[in-house]
Structures are given as structure tokens and as C-alpha cells.
Amino acid sequence: MNVKWLVFGLVVLLLAGCTATGSDTPLSTPQAGIPDLPPVEMPDLLLFYMTSPHAGWGLTATQVLRTFDGGANWFIVTPGDLDVVDFAPFYVLDEQTFWMLSVDPSQEKESVLYRTFDGGLTWESFSAPLGTALIQFLDTKQGFAMSDLGAAAGSQAVALLKTTDGGATWSVVFAHQGGIEQDLPFNGQKYGMSYSDASHAWIGGNIPMLGYTYFYASDDGGQTWEYQDLDLPDAYHDFYTGVNAPIFFSATEGILPVDLYGSSYARIFYHTTDGGQTWIPGERIISLGLYSPISFETIFLWTGAEQLYITHDSGQTWQTIQTNLDISAMLVGMQFVDESTGWALASPDGAQTSLYKTTDGGATWSLLLP
């Protein structure tokens, strides 16, 4: 399945494995199958992405990290010439394969793309004409990026680029041009890009228009676009909407989270079984929490409060799970890798982030860090 971009809450995006320890006990010496890497004590995580109950990646302000024991211990794999990481856009294909963009604010259209195919033991870097961008890879060769070309009130220009050599070189597929009307309009903020294969792509976002869903599809790799209407429930025709990136689990099955803003807040998960030709709305859920799909059918959603939501039918119906934790005022990250194992990242004001873990599907959470 596709990994959701981790840009503003996202999580996004969904894997394979290297040998893990199988426990959450501290690592004092390298164990079989685990690289000998420098440890970091109590990292202040900004973002994380787990690829299994044991293995995952994390970012701090200055480091790229890996864990092999479910988040209890972290090890440094930062590229040698990189000093600032922060909330860098990244994409995880599997436990070994990772891309990350480093953007210099003074170079609006340029960035450096780092990639590793061996879990961070070695890195390659390439100058990339991406600037600030969202990135997605289908495999170790094929990738796509949506680069920000600038925004105005309620509008945003973007460029879409593709790579066929794992990010070493990029070519422009589509770009907004001033004064020219194009099938992907300049108006609208664009924050959800997703490719299900090299030909089929979608872009979501929002526009300040009641009852309008900003959602465009392409069947030629992003060169041309067509508006794709979504059926809103009658009660929400006078709401503003925000369409997130669709997440595909196969060539035919995918989900699409749509946020609703008005007299109240809600979210609807649409689903498709025909490769995105049609999208069927599910039951609305009165929550705009973080979501983490582990399969086409099963999705977790949580605000950090004492009730966590789960669906087993792609968002058609929802059940609640009572939790032992309330971090609703500070939840900034949440991910499950199966129906039992999940993590939550909390960011108290002025304090180090805290990482929690559950092994019973979200009912009980234990503190891992700090």
C-alpha cells in the first residue's frame, strides 16, 4: 500500500522487513541482523514511520534515526553532510529504502534529495529541481513529486515531476503557467497527491466554496487532468471541504479521506473498488483526528482523547475503543501497523515529544520516550 506523506499531520501514505529484536528491552550490544549503529538517548522525535511492529524510521531536528525494537531504542543513520532535518518531506518504501528532501529556504526551486537502499548505512544525494515538494515512489525507480510554485489567496501553482532512476534525475510532467487556463486549475490549495501506478494519479485540496470537493484525476501520468465529483451527504452541502490524498492498497482498492468544515467538523472516508473511477462515501464520523489505515478495510482514527475509532469495512461503519490515555491537546502523530500494534507521538508545549505504544489495539498505551 502507499505511504501517506508526512507533511502536516499525515500520515500519511502502508511493507517488508529486516531482522528485528522481538523485544522492547534496551540494546547494549549489536544483535544478530541489526547493524552496529551509534545510539541516541531519548531522541526528541518530530516525525516517525514504522514498517513493522519492530522496525521504523524517525526524524529529529538534526538526525535521521532507525529503531529495531518497536521504538524503545533509536540509532543514528543521518547522512554525513546533513546538519538540519526538521520536518523534511520523506518517503518510506520499506525497511531498507528511504528518500528525504532537504530544502534550502534561499533556493526556492532547488533541493537535495537523499536516498538509501540499505537502511541508512550508505546514502546518495542528488540536486533536484523540486524545492518544497511532496514525494512518492512506486518502487526503487519510479517516483513522482508535486512541487510548490507559489500561492495566492485561495490558489496555488504547482509542478508535477517524475523520475525513472530513483530520484537521480527528474522531468516535468505538468506545470502551471501564468495567464494560461489549464485543466488542473490554479485556484485551490493542493495538498494531496497520489499515484496508484505510473498512469493514474489524483490531486486533492480545498477551495473556499461551499459544498465543493476539490478533486482531480489523471490517466496519463499527470499530463492532463479532469475534475472528479464526489457525492456529499445532503447535510453537508453547506460545508467547506478538504480532500486528502487517496491511499491505494491494490490496483483497484483505495480509500479517500474528506474533511468537512462548517457548523461542526466531520470526516468521511470514501472507498473505491474500481481503481478510482467511482468513490463511495462511508459513514460520517464527527472527528478530524489523525488516521492510520492498515488495510483497505481497517482504519484507525484518533484525536488523542479517551475514545479511539476503528472501522473494519473501509469507513462504512465505525466502532469505538476506550483508551487509558488522553493526549488530545498534544497529539501530533499516530500510526498502526496491524490491529494490535500502534504508536502515538505527543508534543507538550515547550517540552520534549513523548512516544507511546499500544499492543492491544489502542486500549492501553505505555510511554516509550522520554
Tens digit of each residue's pLDDT (9 = 90 or more) over 262-316: 989 999 999 999 999 999 999 999 888 999 999 999 999 999 999 999 999 999 9
Q: State yes or no: pLDDT of 6 exceeds 90.
A: no
Question: How far apart are the C-alpha atoms of 240 and 97, rounded to whole Å?
Answer: 38
Between 134-138, 148-152, 276-280, the lowest mean confidence (pLDDT) is in 148-152
Q: Spell out where 188-330 has E strands.
A: 189-195, 201-206, 214-218, 226-227, 240-243, 247-248, 254-261, 265-272, 280-281, 290-293, 299-302, 307-311, 319-322
pLDDT band at 176 (very low <50, low <70, confident <90, very high): very high
- Which whole number is the average pLDDT over 209-219? 96
- Alpha carbon of residue 177 to chain centroid: 28
Compute the average pLDDT of residues 130-142.
96
In a domain, 357, yes or no: no
pLDDT at 23 over 60: no
What's the mean pLDDT in 242-254? 97
Number of domains the chain contains: 1
Closest CA to 216 of 181, 182, 183: 183
> What pLDDT score was predicted for residue 182?
93
Q: Does the residue 9 lie in any domain?
A: yes
Beta-strand pair 124-128/331-336: unpaired
Is residue 32 predicted with pLDDT exceeding 90?
Answer: no
Cα gap 218→173, rounded to integer Å? 12
Out of 15-24, 254-263, 285-294, least confident range: 15-24
Instruction: Provide the residue range defining the domain that includes 74.
Output: 1-129
pTM of the model: 0.88
The chain-wide mean pLDDT, for the chain, equals 90
The rounded Cα 247 to chain-centroid distance in angstroms is 10
- Tell me, what amino acid is at 166? G
**Rounded Cα gap, residues 89 and 244, in angstroms:** 16
Cell numbers for 139 = 518502487
pLDDT of residue 26: 39
* Residue 233 grid coordinates: 451527504
Pairing of strands 354-358, 342-346: antiparallel
**Residue 171 within any structural domain of the chain:** no
Q: Cα(152)–Cα(56) distance, rounded to whole angstroms? A: 37
- Arithmetic mean of pLDDT, 84-112: 90
Assess if residue 13 is contained within a domain: yes
Helices (H) and strands (E) in the chain, counts: 0, 30
Is the Cβ–Cβ distance between 76 and 65 less than 8 Å? Answer: yes
Query: Please, which pLDDT band fits residue 34 given cuts at 50, 70 and 90?
Result: confident
Give percent of the chain with pLDDT exceeding 70: 91
Task: Kindly report the backbone phi and psi dihedral angles of residue 270, in degrees, each rounded to the nearest multiple of 5, phi listed first.
Answer: -85, 160
Residue 121 pLDDT: 97
Query: Is 200 part of any domain?
Result: no
Residue 53 domain-assigned?
yes
The pLDDT score that the predictor gives to residue 150 is 87
Confidence at residue 106, expressed as pLDDT on a 0 to 100 scale: 72
Percentage, residues of the chain above pLDDT 90: 80
Region 324-353: mean pLDDT is 94
pLDDT at 15: 30
pLDDT at 22 over 60: no
Contact 73, 62 (CB under 8 A): no
Residue 214 lies in a domain: no
Q: Which sign, positive or negative, has the C-alpha torsion 350, 352, 354, 355?
A: positive
pLDDT at 31: 56
Report how far residue 299's alpha carbon sits from residue 310's, in angstroms, rounded to the nearest whole number: 6
Residue with cell 554525513: 80
| Average confidence (pLDDT) over 3-28 | 35
- Say how far apart CA 330 and CA 308 lie, in whole Å: 15
Banded model confidence at residue 152, pLDDT cuts 50, 70, 90: confident
Cβ neighbours around 208 below 10 Å, total: 11
Res 33: pLDDT:
67
Please report whether residue 63 resides in a domain: yes
